Amino acid sequence: MLLRDERSGQLTPTGARVLRDLLNGEEPERVTEKLVIAYRVDRRTAADDVNAVLEKLHAARLVDAE
């Protein structure tokens, strides 16, 4: 997962960006696309990371499940 530093457990700048974008109401697909463009990662990795953050936000009831 490119969103969390494995040693510290803290969000990376990328993770913070994903979290901010999702909490600001951006669609997961758009956030995924932004990661692919900005960091040149494959779409599957980016989508998996965005979905992992989104699942945690849903579990914490910080966003509505659709």
| pLDDT value of residue 21 | 93
User: How high is the pLDDT of residue 5?
Assistant: 73
pLDDT of residue 65: 64
List the chain domain ranges. 13-60
pLDDT below 70 — which residues of the chain? 1-3, 65-66
Three-state secondary structure of 7-55 = CCCCECHHHHHHHHHHHCCCCHHHHHHHHHHHHCCCHHHHHHHHHHHHH
